[in-house]
């Protein structure tokens, strides 16, 4: 007898399995074995094996001939590209990011909130040899980065509650783990119109973010610059934040937001 999906789930389970398999791949673990997947997702080896061969037949995964493990396939690259091109913020923000990166000499990126996580839509890297690595599509917790906190600050009450509900995990000495502190912190962000993170997610990494508005005046994204603490120092924050805010406003106005 199979353990049924939790009640209320009227979803196609084999499809759901396939999607969960795909989503279990990550930047850190780009290749997976059948048995690993079966183990981690609580599925039978044979189920995973068959699902993988279906995924492979449509180009969503492929078997690496060297490591003999599975990797994500080119179909996902195409589909990801379509998603990317659809977001008009992508188009509009690119030149602005470029200019900002030139001005401040730090990596800049655009992030949005998706299901209690921050997801990076786009980035432009600085050409400094020392830089902070992120990648498009990466997901981070929203309460520990400047872009995440910015998005959270302007998000609906329920989302903030849901994030707190799910628990605030400590990543560094400075991570905000006290729900009350987070709430007042978000209030400050709304008042000042920008957010910063001083080693709250990764040691030695600081960032500054500002909100991007759409034509309805809704916050739809955050623009952030990220860099090592030696370069993004607290003393430089006022000047840098002005530039970040100005760039974010620039994108907002391209999105149809008028003051």
Residues 84-123 that bind a second copy (CB under 8 A): 84-87, 112, 114-115, 119, 121
27 binds, options a second copy, DNA, none, Cβ within 5 to 8 A by partner type: a second copy
The correct pick among 26, 53, 98, 233 for binding DNA (CB under 7 A) is 53
- What is the nearest approach in angstroms of a second copy to the Cβ of residue 148? 15
DSSP 99-149: HHHHHH-SEEEEEEEETTEEEEEEEE----SS-----TT-EE-TTSSHHHH
Instruction: Considering the complex, state which of residue 46 and residue 85 has its C-beta at the smaller distance from DNA.
Output: 46
Closest CA to 52 of 24, 27, 18, 80: 18
Cα 3 to the chain's mean position, in Å? 33
Contact call for residues 71 and 31 (beta carbons, < 8 A): yes
135 binds, options a second copy, DNA, none, Cβ within 5 to 8 A by partner type: a second copy
Question: By CB under 7 A, which span of 3-11, 79-87, 161-169, 217-225 interacts with DNA?
Answer: 3-11
The correct pick among 23, 68, 173, 259 for binding DNA (CB under 7 A) is 68
139-140, strands of its sheet edge to edge = 139-140, 117-124, 107-114, 219-228, 205-213, 195-198
Which residues of the chain form contacts with a second copy (CB under 8 A)? Answer: 10-12, 14-20, 22-23, 25-27, 30, 50-51, 53-55, 57-60, 71-87, 112, 114-115, 119, 121, 135-139, 215-216, 254, 256, 258
């Amino acid at each position: 007898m199979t353990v049924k999906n939790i009640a209320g789930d009227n979803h196609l389970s084999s499809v759901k399995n396939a999607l969960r398999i795909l989503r279990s791949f990550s930047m850190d673990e780009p290749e997976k074995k059948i048995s690993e997947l079966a183990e981690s997702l609580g599925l039978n080896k044979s189920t995973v094996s068959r699902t993988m061969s279906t995924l492979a037949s449509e180009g969503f995964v492929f078997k690496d001939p060297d490591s003999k493990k599975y990797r994500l396939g080119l179909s996902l690259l195409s589909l990801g590209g379509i998603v990317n091109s659809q977001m008009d913020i992508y188009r509009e923000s690119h030149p602005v990011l470029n200019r900002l990166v030139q001005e401040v000499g730090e990596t800049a990126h655009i992030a949005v909130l998706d299901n209690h996580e921050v997801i990076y839509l786009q980035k432009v890297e600085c050409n400094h040899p020392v830089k902070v690595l992120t990648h498009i599509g990466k997901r981070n917790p929203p309460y520990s980065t400047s872009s995440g906190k910015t998005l959270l600050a302007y998000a609906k009450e329920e989302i903030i509650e849901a994030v707190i509900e799910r628990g605030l995990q400590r990543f560094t000495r400075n991570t905000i783990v006290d729900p009350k502190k987070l709430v007042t912190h978000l209030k400050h962000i709304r008042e000042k119109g920008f957010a910063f993170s001083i080693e709250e997610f990764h040691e030695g990494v600081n960032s500054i973010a500002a909100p991007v508005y759409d034509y309805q005046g809704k916050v739809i994204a955050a623009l952030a610059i990220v860099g090592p603490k030696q370069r993004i120092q607290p003393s430089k924050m006022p000047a840098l934040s002005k530039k970040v805010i100005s760039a974010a406003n620039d994108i907002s106005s391209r999105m149809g937001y008028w003051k």
